[in-house]
Chains A and B, each alone.
Chain A
Amino acid sequence: MDVTLDEDQLMLQDMTRRFLEDRSPIGALRKLADSGSSLDRGIWREASELGWVALFVPEANGGIAESAQGVIDAAIVAEELGRVVFSGPFLSSCVVADAIARAGSEAQRDGWLPGLASGDTLAAWCFAGTEAKGGAEAGGVTLTTDGGGFVLDGLAGYVEEAEAADLLLVTARGESGVGQFLLPAGFPGITVEPLEAIDLGRRLAHVRFAGVRVGPEALLGAVDGAEQQVERQLQVALALQCAETVGVIDRAFEFTLEWVNQRYAFGRPIGSFQALKHRLADHAAQLEGAKAAAAHAARSVQTGAPDAAIAVSVAKSHCGRFATEIIRDCVQMHGGIGVTWEHDIHFYLRRAVSNEALWGSPAAHHERLCRLAGL
């Protein structure tokens, strides 16, 4: 949690936590996973009534953006979602809603934003290709002009909730730059290829575009002029992903501390052994670093600070790497129970490992930082 939140934001945090404890605790994910079913759209609508995605939607389109601090407030929600490894399209819905609110035509805003705010419409963010070093950079889909319209070809990789989505925001690279398109699900020429994801609360898919012909009305913003809006989307996505990751680590670390305090071996709590507690002290330090980096990322993206691009990559590298490292070690400290299906910790580690890899691995963001530094 950001240590500079105001009273309203602390209330938002409290409200979100209580809603999740009541309606979608970690047990909800277990039920979902055991039943093999997909997204619970009922919970998503209930959650949307609390104004989660609406944080990015203007009042005129049924949102509360004017009275909110978009990314900072959404980061508060995301952190709470991480604590219960929430299963729902929060990150991508926020990214797409923010993109439409900022760059959309009146028709696009009126057409899509009310549904996104209410939770009736789910959005998927088709941003990057499938290459291993990608994720931090737009790619995968190409764009050619065809008379007054456009043709999209290629593969958008690892798209969250693409199968359930009603709306796709597609980023495509043309000869002279990047363009973005808003397309309804089931649009001719688009096929969704579901993947088996290790994160049981997040369904991923590749989205294939085979000669998809779209008219100019589908364009979001200008053609060949979308670089800045794409960068903004990546920043929002990463700020929220890192906030979620912080919640994931924070909760796993919390119940691991409880465990080492109450679990006895050799006549003493295992938390009294320096072999464990020194590692936990190090984890506490890196967790504090993750919180600091994630909070700064959200704040700098929200305020459009000059270091926003740097801040999200710093946060992604640190949160990504240490979430996995810390929670893996938490599993180790649990011993046998930690590797069973019955214990919740694997849900946390799955989300951590998944978040580390998606939208740019730490290595991809180190490369991005070098470019930002002019190297």
Chain B
Amino acid sequence: MENTAEAPTGPRRTSEHLDTEEQRAFRLKARDYMAGRLPPRIPGEPANAFEQVELVEKDRQIQRLLWDGGLAGITVPRDYGGLGLDKRFEDIFHEEAEPYRLAWHFGNAFNIVLPVLLAHGTEAQKKKYIPGMLSGAQMWCQLLSEPSGGSDLAGLLTRAEKRGDGWVLNGSKVWTSGGHVSDMGLCLARTDPTVRKHAGLTMFLVNMHAPGMTINPIRLVRGGSDFCQEFLDDVAVPDEDRVGEVNDGWTVAQTQLNAERAGMAKGWHAGLRPAAVAEHLTLPQSYVKLARQLGRANDPAARELVGEAFVIDAVYNLTGRRIAAGTRNGRLPPTAGMVSSLLVARTDARRTALLSALAGPAGVARPAGSVGREIGMERVTTHRIGGGTLEMQLNLVSERHLGLPREPGFDRDVPFNQIRTNAAKG
């Protein structure tokens, strides 16, 4: 996701004046500890780029530093290695951590796996796995989508069969962020194909280093990729690594998907920078410069495109702010967050259209060795597939936010093994 907002100006705003004595002590401890220990935020350094192995390694070390300094897992119960404090302390931590890079590659662990384990994990699972993620020792991924489909998650084909005391998993997962650098994965698999599709799923914690697990990076349009495809060939999973009841995996998956959406809404994937939304609107000078570089500053057609680009960026920022404020104070329903992410998708795509039209041929070829914005390639690569396709977002907004009726399905109340799927024939 592109953030075209201008850099915020003026002094950093904190809520320091609201601190209790205990909060103030925590703030100072965090401030003192991080100063000089944590690496700074570097402009342009990606928050998440799993293909950059050294950046992933850097994040492991950052998380280890926070763990050593008693600043990891702020709201996580003490029994599981956390600090057991309330959310206010987490906000204080993030205010103080603003100048530094945090372990953004642990987003899956903290925003997705952690809430799932806290809600559905056994006591043994929480004690075994949570300290490992808080200390930076174990990186996590989620194994959800499959080559046969991603939007229809409950129609997945990967099988988990009971053998002796444990389970054996077979199948393939895909679009796994950071699969190749992860130690553990949260994996949804089918345990009973003879019941309707949602009722035959179970959630597992899978060792990514286990025998039978093959992990291949996916090459995307631009060449690199955050994503992997996994092949599971008789991967053994002990029964103590099953999360929730057998065949109740859909319940666990709901927690997982909601947690993922909440994490996205917080902006973790982009390095948590709510402060970047300035109070007043500004018109990005990058567009002005671009129009001048292209020699189109006085071309009415170009000015029309630049003007609209100003508008869509401003409306995007204002809407995000409105929905954040409105869902916080209860004037808007929680589902309004889905509207926000739909608007992001539409705005991102529209921006690529405007800039491509502005740049003309200069957007599709340039002198060798040039750096900077690849306007034509943004037009090629800007799509809303990951994190829920555009179509799924449209369904979410229309059904959950607007309350419109669901489309009838062919797979309701039918045993999974009688539904037509994309499974290989024969």
A residues apposed to B, CB below 8 Å: 1, 3-4, 257, 260-261, 268-269, 271-274, 277-278, 280-282, 284-286, 288-289, 291-293, 295-296, 300, 305-307, 310-311, 313-314, 317-318, 362-363, 365-370, 372-375
Contacts and interface: CB of A to CB of B under 8 A. Distances in A.
A285 B346 contact: yes
Contacts of A278: 391, 394-395, 398
* Interface SS of chain B: helix
A310 B283 contact: yes
A366 B404 contact: no
Interface string B274-303: 000000111101011001100001001001
Contacts of B399: 277
A292 B398 contact: no
Which 7 residue pairs are nearest across A and B when measured between Cβ atoms? A366-B307, A3-B326, A277-B398, A281-B397, A373-B283, A292-B322, A272-B405
A274 B402 CA distance: 13
B404 to A, nearest CB: 4
A95 B281 CA distance: 24
A361 to B, nearest CB: 11
Interface residues of B, number: 53
A374 B288 contact: yes
B318 A293 contact: yes
B293 to A, nearest CB: 12
A366 B281 contact: no
A269 B398 CA distance: 14
A317 B405 contact: no
Interface stretch (B45-53, B117-125, B329-337): B329-337
Contact of A285 (B310, B397, B406): B397
A144 B291 CA distance: 39
10 contacts: A278-B391, A278-B394, A281-B396, A281-B401, A284-B339, A311-B281, A317-B311, A369-B306, A369-B311, A375-B287
Contacts of A277: 394-395, 398-399, 402, 404
B323 interface: yes
Contacts of B308: 317, 362, 366
A284 B333 CA distance: 13
B259 to A, nearest CB: 23
A371 B343 CA distance: 27
Nearest to B332: A3
A293 B315 contact: yes
A370 B307 contact: yes
Interface in B391-425: 391, 393-399, 401-408
Given A318-B315, A375-B297, 16 more contacts: A3-B322, A4-B325, A261-B405, A272-B407, A277-B395, A280-B402, A288-B322, A307-B280, A311-B281, A311-B314, A314-B310, A366-B307, A366-B308, A370-B310, A373-B288, A375-B288
B353 interface: no
A367 B305 CA distance: 9
A271 B288 CA distance: 43
Contact of B404 (A257, A362, A374): A257
Nearest to B312: A318
Most B Cβ at <10 Å: residue of A274, A286, A289, A291 = A289
Contacts of B321: 292
Nearest to A5: B331
A125 to B, nearest CB: 25
Contacts of B398: 277-278, 280-281, 284
Contacts of A318: 311, 315
Contact of B331 (A3, A282, A372): A3
A272 B326 CA distance: 28
Given A4-B325, A300-B280, A365-B307, A288 B405 contact: no
Nearest to B405: A272
Interface in B117-138: none
A313 B283 CA distance: 12
A296 B307 CA distance: 18
Given A289-B343, A307-B280, A369 B310 contact: yes
